[in-house]
Structures are given as C-alpha cells and as structure tokens.
Amino acid sequence: MSVGTLARGLSFPAPAVARALPFAVFIGLMAAEPWLAAQLGGVIDSRWLYGIRAALVAGLLFVFWPSFTELTAARRPSIREFGLALAAGLIVLAIWLLLDSGIFVLGQSGSGFEPRATDGSIDWSLALMRLAGAALVVPLMEELFWRSLVMRWLEEADFSGLEPARIGLRAVLFSSLAFGLEHSQWAAGMLAGLVYGWLYVRSGNLWVAIAAHAVTNAGLGIWVLATGAWYFW
C-alpha cells in the first residue's frame, strides 16, 4: 500500500484540528529545541533540528491534505494574481528588512540560524535546508492556520464553509495582530498579516496568499545568505 493510499484512507479530524496541528507541532518543537539540543549533545549538529521540525510538519500537511479543500478544490490563480502575489511578497520583504530594530522588535535579536562551517564558509546543505523549510513548508502551514482557520473562525465559528469574501475587517485585524505577536518583529508581522489577509479576501484563493508568503520568505532567505544578517533567521 502506498503512502498516498494510506493517507486517503485515514479518518481525518475536524477541520480546525487539521489546520492547527501542523502549526502547533512546529511551534512546540521550536520551543523545545534548546532542550532537545542539550539532550542530543554531540550526536548531531543541533541546527538539523530545524530540518527535522520542517519535515515532520510537511508530513502532517501531506496526511491532512485531502481535508484542505480551500487548496485542493481551488481554481488555478491567474497570471495577474501571481503578479500581485509577487509584488505583495516583495513589499512585505521590504517592510521586514526596514522594521528590524527598536520598538518594532519584541525582546532582543538573537544570533539567528547560522549555516556556517567551522572555517566560516556557508554549509550549503544547512543553508538550503533552512531556506526550503522557510519558503515551502512555513507559508503553507501558516496560511492554513492564520488565514484559513483563525481569520475565518473569527468571522464564523463554522468556518470551513465560509467564503473569503465574507470575512470582515474585524477578523482581518485581529488575526493580523495575533500573527504579528507570533514574531519577534511584531510590527512587520502585523503588516504582513494584513497584506496576506487582504490577498486572501480579495482573490478568494488561499494559494495567492501562500505564494506571496513564499516570496517574502524566499527573498528574506536569499538576503540573509547574501549579507550574513543571520538574526533574520
């Protein structure tokens, strides 16, 4: 029996659980990462824990995929919508790079994820692992949670049948506020949430918001690798 056949045969949980569990696992493992790194000691390079986390979340998204009807039944975004997603993603990237200090940051910036070898050169296996997780897994996971679940649920408890066009301003604002507070760069995060939320409501297609989010994260990763500004990671 193939993995795909097994996944299709599973009994899927409620729509909220399918969209919340991958996000909860990602955040939970991120919080536990210092402890896990200490337990593993020198067994593996602790930086690979990010890849393990991203792979586990990708596995959950695959298993729950049949229940994500906002993606599986969605029409293909138009060229114009892809262009809009590209422009919006780059605007959010610019905001992220500008609002990176002072009152726009919660706490102090850490050293971030540094994919460098002992000689100071970039370890491309680590760099590409981090980039793939941020640009491919995270946008899908976060848009399913923040926009498809949280934003629609704030508008209507039985969210799964709610059309994006019916989402009101209150739901967009409150979900964007929560999305911003998830990130240390809270102001940039709030503005990003507003942009991705607006794309979802305007287009009625979650793929457009996912594409914009992926552009932002991929662009940020390229910027980090080009400049060595590891604290963004």
Of the listed ranges 37-51, 59-73, 74-88, 186-200, the one predicted with least confidence: 37-51
**Mean pLDDT over all residues of the chain?**
93
Distance CA 214, CA 136 (A): 6
Q: What is the CA radius of gyration of the chain?
A: 18
pLDDT digit string (tens) for 53-93? Answer: 999 999 999 999 999 999 999 999 999 999 999 999 999 99
Q: How many CA atoms lie within 13 A of 70 on its CB side?
A: 27
3-class SS string, 182-220 = CCCCHHHHHHHHHHHHHHHHHHCCHHHHHHHHHHHHHHH
| CB of 113 closer than 8 Å to CB of 233 | yes
Task: Tally Cβ neighbours within 10 Å of residue 4.
Answer: 11
Which ranges in the chain belong to alpha helices (H)? 3-9, 15-40, 48-64, 69-72, 79-98, 124-132, 138-142, 152-155, 169-181, 186-203, 206-227
Distance CA 228, CA 169 (A): 38
Structure-block tokens of residue 207: 């793929």
pLDDT digit string (tens) for 121-176? Answer: 999 999 999 999 999 999 999 999 999 999 999 999 999 999 999 999 999 999 99
Residue 1 has pLDDT above 50, yes or no: no
Residue 226 has pLDDT above 70, yes or no: yes
pLDDT digit string (tens) for 108-124? Answer: 766 799 999 999 999 99
Q: Which amino acid is at 124?
A: W
Residue 99 has pLDDT above 60, yes or no: yes
